């Protein structure tokens, strides 16, 4: 709606996990380096955690796009609250495992193991991302993950698992030493520092085709204060600011607009 007004090719603060909009903040780059090391060296599992809205899904998708063809297939699971048997059957289908519908956990595990062994013999290594893994909060679900980590070929894991989730995932894993000891790395995403918030906004605007500055320095400072450097909050506030600026036919957005929109958002939340 507002793209033409600001001379943008796309909306810069959409919530879609588009790798073009990945911003290399300090915390993000540190996590990306460690996770890439774990996956490229075919370790069994790695963990990425952080509070809601910090960009875990986007980082995970950016990471998998950077991996070579030898690390395939790449499977992204986003339904961790499914019952264990259903989750394994879904994973088997996503991996392209032979066989029809499966009814038991054992049948699904056999399908998965057979497919992963074929994959390993072809010189490849599967990467499986389990998003929102903090929802795997029951003992059966975590036991399912442990069973998958036990699948090996010539004493090496048949697949690498990346578990991403909120910080409660760390606590759940710590209660399971048999799982924690399988993690090659554990990474914790943090909020942006003030200068990172400013860099993040400018990066997304540039990626969306912006040819000039849209937010004033005062507006950028106000955005960080209002959002506490949390990317999801930054996206929501900036998206609304661009919409309001379009409606009011502004040529730039200043701290006054940010303050007004933040107050409106706070009121809507309170209601």
Joined tokens for residue 198: 């400013």
Torsion sign, CA atoms 189, 195, 196, 198: positive
Which long-range CB contacts under 8 A does 79-88 form with residues at least 24 apart? 80/130, 80/131, 80/132, 80/133, 80/135, 80/136, 80/141, 81/132, 81/135, 84/140, 84/141, 84/143, 84/144, 87/141, 87/144, 88/112, 88/144
Let me know whether 211 and 258 are in one domain.
yes
* CA distance linking residue 92 with residue 82, whole number of Å: 14
**What is the predicted pLDDT for the residue at 140?**
77
**What is the predicted pLDDT for the residue at 82?**
80
Let me know whether 111 and 159 are in one domain.
yes
Whole-model pTM?
0.90
Let me know whether 123 and 198 are in one domain.
no
221 lies in some domain: yes
Pick the range with the lowest mean pLDDT from 83-97, 120-134, 159-173, 193-207. 83-97
CB 27 within 8 A of CB 166: no
Task: List pLDDT tens digits, range 210-237.
Answer: 999 999 999 999 999 999 999 999 999 9
- What CATH number did the domain enclosing 252 receive? 1.10.8.60
Q: Decide if pLDDT at 42 tops 90.
A: yes
Q: Tokens 């989750």, residue?
A: 87
Backbone angles phi, psi at 253, to 5 degrees: -120, 125
* CA distance linking residue 64 with residue 66, whole number of Å: 5
Q: How many domains are there within the chain?
A: 2
Q: Which residues contact 134 (CB under 8 A, 6 or more apart)?
A: 49, 165, 166, 167, 168, 169, 172
Last residue of a domain, one of 134, 164, 188: 188
Angle at 131 between CA 192 and CA 179, to 5 degrees: 100
Strands 159-165, 126-130: pairing kind: parallel
* CA distance linking residue 200 with residue 222, whole number of Å: 14
- Compare 10 and 270 and report the one with higher pLDDT: 10
19 lies in some domain: no
Q: Decide if pLDDT at 181 tops 90.
A: yes
Percentage, residues of the chain above pLDDT 90? 75
- Compare 6 and 15 and report the one with higher pLDDT: 6
Q: pLDDT band at 138, cuts 50/70/90?
A: low
Last residue of a domain, one of 142, 169, 188: 188
Let me know whether 102 and 225 are in one domain.
no
Structural domain that includes position 67: 26-188
Alpha carbon 197 to its chain's center: 18
């Amino acid at each position: 709606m507002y793209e033409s007004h600001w001379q943008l090719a796309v909306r810069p603060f959409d919530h879609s996990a588009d790798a073009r909009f990945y911003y290399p903040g300090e915390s993000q780059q540190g996590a990306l380096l460690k996770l890439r090391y774990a996956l490229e060296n075919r370790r069994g599992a790695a963990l990425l955690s952080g509070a809601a809205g910090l960009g875990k899904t986007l980082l995970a998708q950016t990471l998998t796009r950077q991996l070579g063809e030898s690390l395939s297939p790449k499977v992204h699971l986003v339904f961790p609250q499914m019952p264990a048997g259903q989750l394994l059957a879904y994973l088997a289908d996503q991996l392209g495992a032979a066989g029809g519908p499966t009814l038991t956990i054992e049948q699904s595990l056999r399908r998965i193991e057979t497919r992963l062994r074929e994959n390993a013999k072809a010189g490849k290594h599967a990467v499986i991302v389990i998003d929102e893994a903090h929802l795997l909060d029951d003992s059966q679900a975590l036991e399912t993950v442990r069973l998958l980590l036990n699948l090996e070929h010539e004493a090496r894991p048949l697949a690498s698992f990346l578990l991403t989730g909120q910080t409660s995932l760390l606590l759940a894993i710590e209660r399971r030493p048999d799982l924690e000891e399988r993690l090659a790395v554990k990474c914790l995403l943090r909020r942006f520092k003030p200068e990172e918030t400013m860099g993040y906004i400018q990066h997304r605007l540039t990626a969306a085709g912006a040819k000039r500055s849209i937010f004033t320095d005062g507006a950028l400072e106000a955005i960080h204060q209002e959002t506490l450097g949390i990317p999801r909050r930054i996206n929501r506030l900036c998206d609304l600011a661009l919409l309001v600026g379009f409606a009011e036919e502004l040529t730039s957005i200043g701290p006054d607009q940010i303050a007004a929109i933040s107050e409106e958002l706070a009121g809507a939340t309170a209601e």
